[in-house]
Structure 1
Amino acid sequence: MRKVVGIENELRADVGNSKSQKRFEDFDIPALIVGKAAYVQEAILNPQDDDPDSFTCKKINESVKMHESKGDPRHRSVRSIVEEHINRDEEQDLEPEGLNTMYRRRFGLSGGYSRSGFRVYLDGTHPEICTPECLTPYDIVSWDKAGEIIIDKAREEAEKQIGNKITVYKNNSDGFGHSWGTHENYFVENILFDLLTKNYHLERPTLASEIWKTFIVTRFIYCGSGKVGAEHLCKPEARNKFLLSQRAEFFECDLGIQTTHHRPLINTRDEPYTSFEYENKGKRLHVIIGDANMSEVATYLKTGMAMLLLNALECRGGLFLGHKLPILVNPLSALGEISLDTGCKKELKVYHRGDIKFMTAIDIQGVFCEELRAINYINHQDAPWAQDVISLMEDVLFDLKEDPFNLVGVLDWPTKLALMEEFLDDNKLDWSRVKADSEVFSKMKGLDTAYHRLDDKGIYNQLLTQGMFRRITDSATVEGCCVNPPQNTRAKIRGEIIKANTGNIAYINWHYAELVNPRRMVFFSDPCEPEITKERSRK
């Protein structure tokens, strides 16, 4: 089946001392960026009004009351934040915001869907932008980069409003133990979804899930974005080292539905974003283990290889691959070892062809690459872009084996590590001083985060402007993606409905819209098709 892919990016937004008199809550600036992004994208917002009698506002009030009655401290603090905010605004002669608006902004009931297929909204204290549904890794790279431009334009508009500098970063951790996500979503057949997310045979993992865990753990050698110093690992020596991945150390179990604590390698969330009658066609596999990539090559390989493997696993649950592919004995342990191994030479314990062996992450990914090439040779019509992904993957693995620094200007973590090594050499320092000297650590973390800035002062963007980073897409294509949705998925019809029904949409979601006049429901349930699947009148 064709693979639909999308990426969700939670972003970090920082603001300096504002020139206005208003004091900002932790979610004010992210919410402002979301609002400006919706404005520049001409997005449809949900909900569109603050009518206290509206369905959404009633549900908000019910939720606050319900959780307060159960003593939920999170929602009780929302009430206190709102009351404090309103009182302070009244004292400063500012227009106060009501409970509904504050609660909606704080807990993600904000933002909307754009004509170009994006969704933008507030997730806690982070602005989040989701790409439209895409059918190829080239497309997902292009719309992912367009999302960066959209958010940066929104940042500029937000700066004009508050009168001070705002900086937005596309990264995954702050260096002090806090992490937020970059999630991938793949539309897979129901049977594969069940094989990946459920344990059969007396709670033993399925073969498909073991193959998938091995793949997503070892792929960090090419799609890790890198960072200075461990935040969550128990090993004290890791705090003075460079890690391949920003997110790897925050994963603690194999399987689970949670995304913000005790994070699993395989997330079991079952939210298909299709109508009921289409759920038999497939489900959305929510992949939460991955870094925010600035490198286009990293995103291209990350999504392209995943799409090829998922297609292969849909053939009998991967049974024909079981004896060919290496499977990690302990994926969680291997994840930490891989992230600390900048030489990519650590040998990991695997099951392979009936024996226990030791292989590097490069060699493991090499076997995956070899088998996927063989499968694509047989079924080349299924994925015409596959040969390019596999060939590039083989080149990257070869360079990693020779010397990871061969991939400076190609992948994120080798480029960032080279910047850190240059800083230490220039200052006649070594890695033992990173955590011991707070000033050194602060400067290196500054370089680390500056790499991910979305404005023209970001290190990655400066390297890109100077022609020092390899590209997959191009600037003209990315600019076009800012205003146009993909033409071969349901994002196209969703964008057309938004464009043609300004002021006539009561509600819109990934897979349906409710129109006002005449009142009817319009469904575009199939992620792979740019067409309306059903219409239904409403009284």
Structure 2
Amino acid sequence: METRIIGVETEYGVHTVHPTKRPLAPDEVARYMFKPVVSWGNSSNVFIPNGSRLYLDVGSHPEYATAETTRLDELLALDAAGDSIMHMLVTQAQQAMAKDGFDGDVYLYRNNADSLGNSYGSHENYMIERTTQYRRLTQALLPFLVTRQLIAGNGVVIKDPAALPLADQFPGRSEPHFAFSQRADYMHEAISSSSTRARPMINTRDEPHSDSTKYRRLHVIVGDSNMSETTQLLRFGTTDLLLRIIESGKPLQNLQLAHPVRAIRQTSHDLTGQTPLELADGRTMTALELQEFYLTQAQEFLARQGPHHEHLEQIMDLWSRTLDAIASQDYSSIDTEIDWAIKHKFMTAYANKNNLDWDAARLVQLDMSYHDIHPQRGLFNLLEARGAAARVLTDAQVQAAHDNPPATTRALLRHRFIETARAMGMDYSMDWMHMKLNYHPLHTLYVRDPFETDISIVDELFAKVASAGH
């Protein structure tokens, strides 16, 4: 596949603090956040002008799903715009809450778990061709995803290992420590058609949001909600590259894991990457060895095929440097580019300065603060502002992504439809494939091709409605 559609869905955690009164529950705050959305969109599930989807998910989690895109820099920009849009909704919500007498502080976190043990995700979507052997692909990809946390984990302070989900089934380190991944301990299955009850690493529900005779959607649920743009570039870029290797028909060694759910936990809690993981054939390999194998396969593939986008040199360099840093246990070469290393550097320095152990409540608080999306308060954003976290994007790219869709997908049509309908004062509704004028049901666009960019079909629809006297 020369060009691939990629998107990402981000669920946010909500928390409120009030010094004297009972704080509002997350679902109450979420309703305040989405009140202006409902007022103009007649729903808490809407598409916005940049082609992305904004909605309240199960459990009243604010969620943002990027528009379809074919470029990694556009994907990162659309995703960053989601944080900015969510922050705007929080700001408006706090103002409305204050008028109603609820004047506490609202925090919106881009992370994967709260203090009550609730988990929420960052889900990746990769378009694959229907002719691809789906079972072969998912099985081949799974060991990579289990160990991908070495290069794309957020890092997390584990204050009480015994309190982690399924800790009785998967006993590991008993002392407080720092781990690679927030998400790893919340995975219950390797592959499943459910995304909430079973919480698998790969969701197999066949929901392509496109021409189902040509395409299928690979729905990856196992990823951490990254703050770092460079980590995101590595996360999406390496996964796309592994998919291309598998799709090319190149046989990979049989590296199927005997116990993926156990392996993902074992990997997360060992910053050396050296814990032996049991393979289905009885052999063992470490997480570091598995990632080094995939890196070598990618290098050989690119040597034969050549690069397919402009970020590959940066991705391959960072992938290699991250594995070298883990092998040497010297993270200084990646501690501005990889989320877990950025967080580990700050946390370690703070703990040493204040003589704290990993079970200190203050370190857990700082861990949460790292994921606060508030631009002037969130720890990651403060580190980025002082140059302690590298960037891929410019502020101008993120700002442009607030209102503008990718130019290479049907998100362009969605943008045109929304803008025209609003200008003409017409009620509308849409999903990923349909665009409908509510009072003109016969005038509905059905766009199955995610690569469709001809906006004239939108203009023609509105011209017909206008000539009929809407």
Q: Say yes or no: TM over 0.5.
A: yes
SS at match of 2:402: helix
Worse-matched range after superposition: 372-381 or 278-287: 372-381
Trace 1:207-222 onto structure 2 (pairs within 5 A).
Answer: 208-222=137-151
Q: Report how far residue 140 of structure 1 moved.
A: 1.4
Mapped pair 1:365 → 2:291: yes
Residue 521 of structure 1 aligns to which amino acid in structure 2?
T
Look up the equivalent residue of 1:141 and give its one-letter code: L
- 1:371 to 1:412, Cα distance in 2 relative to 1, 3 A: same
Question: C-alpha separation between the residues in 2 aligned to 1:380 and 1:236?
Answer: 42
Q: Verify: 1:270 aligned to 2:209, yes or no.
A: no
Residue 113 of structure 1, CA deviation: 0.5
> In 2, Cα distance between the equivalents of 1:465 and 1:37?
30
Question: Which segments of 5 or more consecutive residues in structure 2 lack a partner in the other structure?
Answer: none
Aligned CA distance change for structure 1 residues 507 and 423 (closer, same or farther; 3 Å): same
Partners of 2:357 and 2:299 in 1: CA distance = 42
Matches within 5 A, 1:260-409: 260-274=196-210, 278-316=211-249, 320-323=250-253, 326-350=255-279, 357-380=283-306, 382-403=308-329, 405-406=331-332, 407-409=334-336
* 1:162-195 deviation line (CA, Å, top 9, x unaligned): 1232111101101332111111111111233x52
Verify the 8 A CA contact 1:297 1:471 in the aligned structure 2: yes
8 Å Cα contact 2:369/2:378 also seen in 1: yes
1:34 alignment counterpart: 34
Report the Cα distance in structure 2 between the residues aligned to 1:176 and 1:6, rounded to whole angstroms.
Answer: 29
**Does residue 464 in structure 1 map to residue 395 in structure 2?**
no
1:116 to 33, 36, 50: 50
1:534 Cα shift? 7.5
- The farther-off stretch of 463-472 and 131-140 is 131-140
Shift of 1:409: 2.0
Shift of 1:375: 2.1
Q: Distance in 1 between matches of 2:54 and 2:321?
A: 36
Structure 1 position 380, deviation (Å): 2.8
Identical residues among aligned pairs (%): 27
Q: Please state how far the C-alpha of 1:267 moved relative to its aligned partner.
A: 1.1
User: Is the CA contact 1:505–1:513 (under 8 Å) kept in the aligned structure 2?
Assistant: no
TM-score, normalisation: structure 1: 0.76
Q: TM-score, normalising length from structure 2?
A: 0.86
Instruction: Give, in angstroms, the shift of residue 487 of structure 1.
Output: 0.9
Q: Provide the rounded CA distance (Å) in 1 between the counterparts of 2:294 and 2:388.
A: 30
CA–CA separation in structure 2 for the residues paired with 1:154 and 1:335? 35
Q: Deviations over 1:343-383 (max 9, x none)?
A: 223233447xxx86543323322221221232233333644
In the alignment, what sits opposite 1:445?
364
Is the alpha carbon distance of 1:534 and 1:270 closer, same or farther for their aligned partners in structure 2, counting shifts above 3 Å?
A: farther
Q: Distance in 2 between matches of 1:187 and 1:35?
A: 33
The alpha carbon displacement at 1:211 in A equals 1.6
How far 1:285 moved relative to its partner?
1.4
Report the CA distance shift for 1:516/1:179 in structure 2 as closer, same or farther (over 3 A): closer
Deviation at 1:138, TM superposition (A): 2.0
What is the one-letter code of the residue matched to 2:107?
A: T
Cα distance change of structure 1 residues 404 and 218 upon mapping to structure 2, 3 Å threshold: farther
Q: Distance in 2 between matches of 1:315 and 1:132?
A: 27
Q: CA RMSD in A?
A: 2.8
* Mapped contact 1:485–1:495 kept (Cα < 8 A): yes
Residue 200 of structure 1 corresponds to none
Preserved contact between residue 506 and residue 514 of structure 1 (Cα < 8 Å): yes
Distance of 2:38 and 2:377 partners within structure 1: 24
Instruction: State the partner residue of 2:426.
Output: 504
- Residue 251 (1) aligns with residue 187 (2): yes
Deviation of 1:421 after TM superposition, in Å, equals 2.3
Q: Secondary structure at the match of 2:429?
A: strand
- Shifted more, 421-430 versus 477-486: the winner is 421-430
* Distance in 2 separating the partners of 1:295 and 1:395: 16
| Distance in 1 (alpha carbons) for counterparts of 2:139 and 2:350 | 40
What residue ranges of structure 1 are gaps of 5+ in the alignment?
49-108, 197-205, 435-439
